[in-house]
Structure 1
Amino acid sequence: MERQLENGPASLNRPLKCPVDHSVLVLDPTGRARDAESAELIARGAASPADILGVQVWAVSDPDVLESLLKDPRISKDGLQHWPDYGPVAAGWALTLWLTTRNMFSAYGERHRRLRRMVSSAFTPRQVAALGEAIEEMTATLLDGAAAAGADGSPVDLREHLARPLPILVIAQLLGLPAELRDGFRHHVDGVFDTTLSPEESEANNAAFFAMVSALVATKREQPGDDMTSLLIAARDTEGDGSALTEEELLGTVVLMVSAGYETTVNLIDNAITLLLAHPDQLDLLRTGKAGWDDAVEESLRREAPVAHLPLRFALEDVELPGGVTVHRGEAILASYAAAGRHPSRHGDTGAAFDVTRAAKDHLAFGHGPHFCLGAPLARLEARTALRALFERFPRLALAPGTELEPVDSLISNGHRALPVLLEP
């Protein structure tokens, strides 16, 4: 195989067993080639060899094939058990945390079911609905701050004033994060998703992140509260034999809850605002009642998946895919959600269009199968609340003149560095 691009490091793992005429698409770690890469992946077929920071994977972009793989018991997320290249890759890869952290994200089979049960009670429809009033109050307070920042007519960064703080406030309430730790948690989560960091920078960020989580757990052990962290600690300490949670799983689960609950929702809110401002005709449909805020949320998730590519899954045996592709036992799979959301197999030639009245808005932005995102209902609630309140309060909201939105430094996270707007142009 040959590389299509030359901006990636030397491959850390063995080459994929694929036809020699398949070049390897090296994914841009800065995220600046995302749209072009999605189009290229779609053109290449259901699955294409790709390089993610030096690791060769099968990038799967066809939503039907991807959906099938996401629920296939022959596909695992446990690299420690099921990836022959786990050792060398984990030792020198900038995305090591995505492999080595022990939580339900990286678990398979019964271990995954056990860990998922530990947190699922916090995301029942009843529990999520109970957060509605608090989320409305948080949103109103944040919009007060945005209004104050833009009182002189200057641009306001809505990613910083709304999209980023709202999810961390919600997570803080769920997990019992003290106010003085929230900025630190945000910083470290950003580092987890930043694919421009060197392995050394990534390792330092991960160590600081776990140190902060360890300190939180130590505090909650001494002063438990009515929050998920305290409940997880109680389960761990009551069943001291590890049948509930090992200490490593406890820390890893808190890391996962903060990371997943924060980054995806930030990008969902960011992208939804951006799409609506860029398509005023679609915003008019919402304002005139011809479409609802749920429609805007789902179409945003489809059109701009908050996570463009999600690492990694591993084949337990050879798996045949359409187009003559075989994912061989032990090879890695990358779920390419950004491309899947726009794929013509489900959306014809309108996949790239933003249409809140689209009849079929189905997407895989929250995954599928056993690993479907537990926090999806909460993310939807946060986004729906934020969008409705924002556009009702600032009916003349517009992107700041001359704005050129830049992506965050990530091939995983799909959002913008900043979202400058004029509240009252």
Structure 2
Amino acid sequence: MTDRRQTPFVLDPNGRTLHAESAALRARGPVTKVLLPGGVEAWSVNSQAALERLLTDPRVSKDAHRHWPRFTSGGITPQWPLYAWVSTANMFTAFGDDHRRLRHLVAPAFTARRTAAMRPRIERIVDTALDGLPATTRDGVTDLRRHFAYPVPVRVITELMGVPEGAMTAGLRSCVDNLFTTSLGAEESAANHRDTYALLGELVELRARQPGDDLTSALIAAEEDDERLTRAEIVDTLLLVIAAGHETTVNLLDNACLALLTSPVQLDAVRNGRAGWDDVIEESLRRDAPVAHLPLRYAVEDIQVAGTTIAKGDAILASYAAAGRDPGRHGPTADDFDVTRAHKDHLAFGHGVHRCLGAPLARLEAAVALPSLFLRYPALALAAEPGTLEPVKSFISNGHARLPVTLI
């Protein structure tokens, strides 16, 4: 009998039924083959226990240049929609000593003190967005994703990076949106790759001439044991920062707002002090991981995971959305949004040595934005049936194309 885990499950590049797909993946087993855009096969790891184990296994690499034969043989080109996710040279794709070196150089830019110091700026950005919401209303409805969940993290991350207002900011926003759009054609993907690197290179040149109190300037100046980041490493690190610090927080705000607007009992629990905003944030991260599937990792040698052999050189897909709703970890109510849930442990920000350095910043943004929104607009209500909301066109990004609401 053929093991169905060996027959690839074809992932929808548009992510139209993401959670149904996640359930189907779990039904096939903790580890199962999937087919990515372009006919690329990978192993989806979708149970929380299996994913926790794999994310801390030293035999798992993120360096395609060293450990993915399909990449090193030239089978993966800039025309592939996920090329930027595997080709960069930063902490995200580094392995072993290279990863330790890069993380040590980059980590000072994300210290707890630097993150906490951003709170007044985040509060100002949130207040400005809230002030502007009434003007965005059309026929009594405003798109909360477009006018709140999206601009707040974008403004925070571009200010953090030292991106000047104007064409560069707009260009980077467009490039990152396309980075997460996994249904792009070959020519569009290649063009977006070129445009992204051109804009980030321009930013590095600007801050090399005009340094400031920003992340880009800090990366340029970073030094440890007489070693500095190369220009290519700085550009690739900035790509990681803007991608991770933008889309993930947008989706966190989007999903948390939707969960509260469709769960009056849960919102009441927060308003009456039976749960806190931190509970809202962690439960939203668990139930709706902002990144559904994260490409890619590679087996450095044969690895046995949950009874399945992942062969040396095979690609691995971390399926965070499926793991977050794993009944094996979260019980029969894993699909439910419950801010009073006793255990909200999740992998939404990764696990092990590659755990996201920007996680405290994302949590801080949500901790400021969510209570401010619901305090300012206590009658906020969803202006559509939940089942009619369209997802963003991506199997990586877990959010909605629009989030229509009424403010009063």
Q: Under a length normalisation based on structure 2, what TM-score does the superposition of the two structures give?
A: 0.95
Where 2:330 maps in the other structure, the secondary structure is helix
Structure 1 residues 339-397: Cα deviation after superposition (integer angstroms, max 9, x where no partner): 00000111111100100000000000000000000010110110121110000011110
Structure 1 residues 152-196: Cα deviation after superposition (integer angstroms, max 9, x where no partner): 762111111111111111112211111112222111101111011
8 Å CA contact 2:5, 2:31 repeated in 1: no
- Provide the rounded CA distance (Å) in 2 between the counterparts of 1:20 and 1:392: 50
Residue 113 in structure 1 maps to residue 96 in structure 2: no
Shift of 1:88: 3.3
Shift of 1:234: 2.6
Matches within 5 A, 1:105-254: 105-150=92-137, 154-180=140-166, 181-235=168-222, 243-254=227-238
- Provide the rounded CA distance (Å) in 2 between the counterparts of 1:367 and 1:198: 29
Which residue of the partner structure matches residue 389 of structure 2? 405
Residue 44 in structure 1 maps to residue 31 in structure 2: no
Matches within 5 A, 1:235-314: 235=222, 243-314=227-298
Counterpart code for 1:115? L
8 Å CA contact 1:153, 1:422 repeated in 2: no
- Provide the rounded CA distance (Å) in 1 between the counterparts of 2:31 and 2:66: 23
8 Å CA contact 1:63, 1:340 repeated in 2: yes
- Provide the rounded CA distance (Å) in 1 between the counterparts of 2:397 and 2:316: 17
Where 2:76 maps in the other structure, the secondary structure is helix
Residue 59 in structure 1 maps to residue 44 in structure 2: yes
Shift of 1:21: 6.7
- Provide the rounded CA distance (Å) in 2 between the counterparts of 1:401 and 1:359: 31
Which residue of the partner structure matches residue 19 of structure 2? 35
Match of 2:319 among 336, 356, 364: 336
Shift of 1:22: 3.4
Which residue of the partner structure matches residue 9 of structure 2? 25
Check 1:330–1:141 CA distance in 2 against 1; reply closer, same or farther (3 A cut). Answer: same
Where 2:228 maps in the other structure, the secondary structure is coil
Structure 1 residues 247-281: Cα deviation after superposition (integer angstroms, max 9, x where no partner): 21111111111111111001000110011101111
8 Å CA contact 1:89, 1:96 repeated in 2: no
Check 1:110–1:391 CA distance in 2 against 1; reply closer, same or farther (3 A cut). Answer: same
Residue 81 in structure 1 maps to residue 66 in structure 2: yes
Give the stretch that moved more between structures: 291-300 or 199-208.
Answer: 199-208
Structure 1 residues 114-139: Cα deviation after superposition (integer angstroms, max 9, x where no partner): 11122211222222111112111110
8 Å CA contact 2:162, 2:215 repeated in 1: yes
Where 1:289 maps in the other structure, the secondary structure is coil
Which residue of the partner structure matches residue 95 of structure 1? 82
- Provide the rounded CA distance (Å) in 1 between the counterparts of 2:379 and 2:278: 21
Which residue of the partner structure matches residue 386 of structure 1? 369
Shift of 1:90: 2.1
Which residue of the partner structure matches residue 400 of structure 2? 416
Which residue of the partner structure matches residue 7 of structure 1? none
Where 1:192 maps in the other structure, the secondary structure is helix
Shift of 1:45: 1.0
RMSD: 1.8
Structure 1 residues 186-227: Cα deviation after superposition (integer angstroms, max 9, x where no partner): 111011110110122111011111111111111111111111
Give the stretch that moved more between structures: 117-126 or 344-353.
Answer: 117-126
- Provide the rounded CA distance (Å) in 2 between the counterparts of 1:20 and 1:365: 27
8 Å CA contact 2:145, 2:250 repeated in 1: yes
Where 1:105 maps in the other structure, the secondary structure is coil
Counterpart code for 1:58? W
Which residue of the partner structure matches residue 375 of structure 1? 358
Check 1:321–1:172 CA distance in 2 against 1; reply closer, same or farther (3 A cut). Answer: same
Shift of 1:24: 1.3
Structure 1 residues 313-361: Cα deviation after superposition (integer angstroms, max 9, x where no partner): 0001111112x31001111110000000000111111100100000000
Gaps of 5+ in 2: none
Give the stretch that moved more between structures: 264-273 or 171-180.
Answer: 171-180
- Provide the rounded CA distance (Å) in 2 between the counterparts of 1:88 and 1:304: 35
Check 1:292–1:21 CA distance in 2 against 1; reply closer, same or farther (3 A cut). Answer: closer
Residue 352 in structure 1 maps to residue 335 in structure 2: yes
8 Å CA contact 1:38, 1:338 repeated in 2: yes
